[in-house]
Structure 1
Amino acid sequence: MEVLQTISEVLQKGNAKLVGEKTQEALDQGLAPAEILNDGLLAGMSVIGKKFKNNEVYVPEVLIAARAMHAGLNVLQPKLVESGTKPVGIVVLGTVKGDVHDIGKNLVGMMMVGAGLEVIDVGIDVSKEKFVEAVQTYKPKILALSALLTTTMPELKTVIDAVAEAGLRDQVKIMVGGAPVNAEFAKEIGADGYTPDAGSAAELAKQFALA
């Protein structure tokens, strides 16, 4: 459908107003909310995600595209609820205790939403208790932990251990990321996954959600 292609294209350009208008137009034409979501909004965000991964666009462009995607989602959300469309999975996302960095976390969250996941962002400087509570409350398929400082890297393991102690470890896949983190460290602390960038994080989370 031409209108879906237009939604994808104007989203990639970051035109939030037009994305909202075209999403409404697609609904008015009688297109299914899930089709508009997948073939319009998520299709456009997927292109941005791939370009970001390949260094063809940068953080500002991603943030602008994500804002445009949310303009479409705002129009679509009530209809998605009505039609019973469910996200592919829930992710609880947060930056660990002692760390107040949030740009990387926010970017990952936007990319995950763009991959069709529901993201519960519990914020920054989050204690292990709050992460455990969020896993108990929202029953996510994925827990995504961010640490941007070398001094807060050990807190990643603290959270993983707390989730295990609460008897929840086999219920959730735990992903870790942030500037000082690497795949070797992730393996050492018992995480299920690590990715170096937001686009890859969204792809891996989607794989975990669909597994």
Structure 2
Amino acid sequence: MTEKGRELADMMERRKVDILCVQETRWKGSKARSIGAGFKLFYYGVNNKRNGVGVVLKEEFVRNVLEVKRVSDRVMSLKLEIEGVMLNVVSGYAPQVGCELEEKEKFWSELDEVMESIPTGERVVIGADFNGHVGEGNRGDEEVMGKFGVKERNLEGQMVVDFAKRMDMAVVNTYFQKREEHRVTYKSGGSAAR
């Protein structure tokens, strides 16, 4: 973890990122530890071969952490008070397309529970890998998403849109047009995933 953690801290410092949600960490345990360059990682994982979620904070915000909820190796949240504002940061990692429906439903149930436990009036940011495509355009879903999604909507993408509607939230990355290289989330050899 030391090498990857330091790489992550260096990237955050370079890009001036103070709070970062990470998924598929594959780090086993329920801990908080310094990763260098003035950043601390709060994480949870039960198996070092799959899943795992975390939130990385700039050290100056660590004293603002009021609560850490480690729900599962797919969902965790941190509550911070920053300048009198309550901010809840939720990190999530949805099951991939090939996973069983039961596993997907468990993830969405855990995420719903975390969201419902947050008092009205507190701010919430979700940084998650939802493993779905919400699709291009937003016909009928303008209240929760922009028109710059990718590909056709799949079942997992529909689950994201339904969640956004239930929680009165938005799929923010669909409101901005991105260059092609910024739309690719995974690249290996000649193939790329979006």
Could you say which TM-score interval applies, normalised by the shorter chain?
0.3 to 0.5
* Structure with the higher strand share, 1 or 2: 2
- TM-score using structure 1 length: 0.32
Higher RCO (C-alpha under 8 Å, 6+ residues apart): 1
